[in-house]
Structures are given as C-alpha cells and as structure tokens.
C-alpha cells in the first residue's frame, strides 16, 4: 500500500519529487508570464518609479503586510521622509510613529539605521547590486535581490513565499524545510530570470520578478488557487494546492487592558504605558496598561477583540473604571509609575503606538481612524510578501491583518 503524501515527504525529504523545467519550458514560462503581467498587473504607487529609495521602502513595507494598509503609509512616509537623507536625519521616534499600524517595527528601525549607514558610508546613494545591498542593516537575500532587479535591472532571482509556492507547484514538488528543497527552488527561480539587464527598452529581470510575485499573490494562492486564470497552467505539474507541512496548533490566552481617560480643560488625555527601550519586542512604543486577569473578574469590558502573535491567539478585553471613585483597576496596573504617561488624544497619530493599542483606541473612538486610499482592484486578493524562510519577527497579524 502506498504511503500517504505527508508520510512520503517525511520519509524522503531530500528527493520528494518535482521536475525542473527544461530549456523550452523556461522560455515558454517567461513569455506567458510577462504577457499576462503586462495586461493584468495592478497599478500600485511603487511600480514604474525611477527611484531606488521608493523601491526599497515598498519592499520593506510589503513584508507580511496587506497592500491596502501599505499604500496609505507609503505615501505618508514619503511625504515626511522624501529622501534617504531626510530619513537618516529623522529621530527614531518620528520614524516609528510614521510606521505605526504596519507592525513588525524592527523593519522601521533597520530602515532608519540603513539610511544613516548609506549617508555615512555611501554618500546618500543606495548601492546598486544585490551583493552590496546585503551589507545594509535589515536587508537580507530576498530584499537585496528585489531592489537590485527592480530598481537597477540586475539579473538575480527574487524568492519570497509567493514565488516559492509558484515554483513548487509548477515543478510538482511538496513543501519541505530542507537545504536541498531551498536549493532546488533557488536554482529554478534563477533559471527563469531573463539574463538581459535593464536598458532603454525595459527591465526584463525586474519585470519578471514582479510578475512572479504578482502571480503568487493574486492567482497561485495558498488556498483555492485560481488555476483557470493562470497563464502558466499548461506547464504546471500540480494544478491545485501542493503538500505543505502540518502547522503548529495555535494557543489561546486572555489579555486585559485598562482604558483611562482624563480631561484637562478642553484637552482629553489617555493613560499609556511606554515599553522599555531594552524590551525584545516593540521597545520604546506605547500601549494600553495591562491588567491582571483576577482584577477584572465579574466586570463587563468596553471592547473585545482578537489579536495573534506568532502561534498565540490573544483574546483581548479593554476595561474602564465604573465611575470616578472606582480606583480598583488603576491601582492594579502592575508596572512602575515612571513608565505611565498621559498622552493627548489629539497627538496619538504622531506617537509610536503598538498596532493593538492603535486598533483598540480607534475602535473605542478615542483615536481618529484615517481612511485607506486604494484604487479598486475587483476580484484580486491583496498582495502580501511572505518571507522565505520566515525570519525573526517582532509580532504577527490578527484575523484582519492589523499588527501588534
């Protein structure tokens, strides 16, 4: 009796199947993909620009984040920091405040550090090759290849989670976390990239890499891929979902927070906790003060929401005092007085808030919600750049992809 697919993958993780495309198939794949991309590519503000800084910024912002959320922040960020020099001269607090809501705040810190490094070591000019780009803080293999090919036309393959999924399905290979599997995907991606560099006629490597990511983000979806709309369906050996590893089960934990407001004349302030500068997650950022679960027993929360970090679902409740004489919750906040700050509600948009704090304050009408501006793209899912392999992250998304 044959082994189930999962058992076969465990038994032979080095050679789990999969056949590389031959030379004729490579040419056919490139042609079909780029023709599809030229007709179906979404109009996004970072596409078609002649500014490597904008390409770099977009690639960092799109990691693990919805394109709709990125567009608004991208435009606002460029308004405040229009050049690498402007970003380098900014304070970290200003950079984090402009990044607030995108999550993964380590990305913003590394972007800021890299801008300072570029100004100090490269005269404010972004390096133009993938190898040189790898020397910058916060830029790894994927990001360096994306910038080098899209902004400078270098013939180098870009492999994120979306591209990896396309290549595994095209070659009929299951997903296994081995060096041999990663090497196979990288080799296949490299074989597909056009060898011609960018010229006055276009940018074949950059366009190809963007087309690969677009295909994975909008057609070759993790679940229920749109195979009948795929331009390379005739070359695909899977034609549907591919075998993936069993995911670790999510844990569920409660988390309770305090909402405390006060008036000073016509000014309204909210009590926030500032995370320590040496904290491993989101250092120096503001959040609502956390409450012990025992003290909120029997109380009705103002707000309930779900938030997820890595493999843990937090079921969050926000509480407020029952009246001016109810000091129970305020006294129960288990942190030192020095890390609590009263912040004007009118200034919340300029402060580095955690995504959870921002979401809760907006849903409680304490903080203004800014609408996201995005051109309609009917029937196309949101683009999310998935890292490969997944790196260390500050925080993860919740059910509607807002981040902590």
Q: Which positions ≥6 away from 76 have C-beta within 8 Å?
A: 98
Q: In what order do the strands lie in the sheet with 312-319?
A: 290-291, 251-258, 312-319, 303-309
137: left (phi over 0), alpha (psi -120 to 50) or beta: beta
CB 328, CB 295: distance < 8 Å: yes
CA 223, chain centre distance (Å): 19
Q: Is 59 a catalytic residue?
A: yes
Q: Which positions ≥6 away from 170 have C-beta within 8 Å?
A: 21, 29, 188, 232, 235, 236, 237, 238
DSSP 364: T
Three-state SS at 257? strand
Quick one: 310 exposed, middle or buried, by C-beta within 10 A (0-12, 13-18, 19+)? Answer: exposed
Exactly one of 59, 164, 273, 403 is catalytic; name it.
59
Q: Give the separation between CA 287 and CA 306, rounded to whole angstroms.
A: 16
Residues marked active site are found at 59
């Amino acid at each position: 009796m044959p082994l189930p697919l999962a058992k076969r993958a465990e038994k032979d993780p080095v050679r789990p199947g999969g056949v590389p495309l031959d030379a004729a198939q490579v040419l056919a794949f490139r042609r079909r993909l780029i023709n599809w991309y030229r007709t179906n590519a979404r109009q996004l503000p970072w596409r078609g620009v002649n500014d490597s800084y904008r390409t770099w910024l977009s690639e960092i912002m799109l990691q693990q984040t919805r394109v709709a959320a990125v567009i608004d922040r991208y435009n606002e960020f460029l308004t405040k920091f229009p050049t690498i020099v402007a970003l380098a001269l900014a304070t970290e607090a200003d950079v984090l405040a402009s990044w607030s809501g995108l999550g993964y705040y380590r990305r913003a810190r590394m972007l800021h550090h890299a801008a300072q490094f570029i100004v100090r070591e490269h005269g404010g000019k972004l390096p133009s090759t993938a190898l040189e780009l790898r020397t910058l803080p916060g830029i790894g293999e994927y990001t360096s290849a994306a910038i080098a090919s899209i902004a400078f036309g270098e013939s180098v393959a870009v492999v994120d989670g979306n591209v990896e999924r396309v290549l595994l399905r095209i070659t009929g290979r299951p997903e296994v976390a081995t060096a041999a599997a990663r090497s196979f995907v990288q080799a296949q991606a490299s074989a597909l990239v056009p060898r011609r560099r960018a010229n006055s006629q276009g940018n074949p490597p950059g366009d190809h890499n963007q087309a690969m990511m677009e295909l994975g983000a909008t057609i070759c979806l993790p679940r229920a891929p749109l195979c009948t709309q795929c331009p390379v369906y005739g070359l695909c050996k899977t034609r549907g979902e591919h075998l993936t590893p069993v995911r670790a089960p999510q844990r569920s934990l409660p988390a309770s927070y305090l909402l405390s407001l006060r008036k000073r004349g016509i000014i309204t302030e909210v009590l926030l906790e500032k995370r320590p500068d040496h904290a491993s997650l989101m250092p120096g950022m503001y959040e609502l003060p956390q409450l012990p679960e025992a003290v909120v027993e029997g109380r009705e929360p103002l707000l309930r929401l779900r938030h997820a970090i890595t493999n843990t679902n937090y079921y969050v409740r926000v509480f407020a005092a029952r009246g001016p004489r109810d000091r129970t919750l305020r006294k129960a906040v288990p942190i030192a007085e020095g890390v609590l700050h009263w912040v004007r509600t009118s200034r919340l948009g300029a402060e580095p808030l955690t995504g959870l704090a921002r979401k809760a304050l907006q849903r409680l009408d304490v903080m203004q919600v800014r609408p996201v501006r995005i051109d309609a793209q009917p029937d196309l899912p949101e683009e999310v750049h998935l890292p490969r392999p997944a790196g260390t992250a500050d925080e993860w998304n919740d059910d509607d992809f807002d981040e902590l």
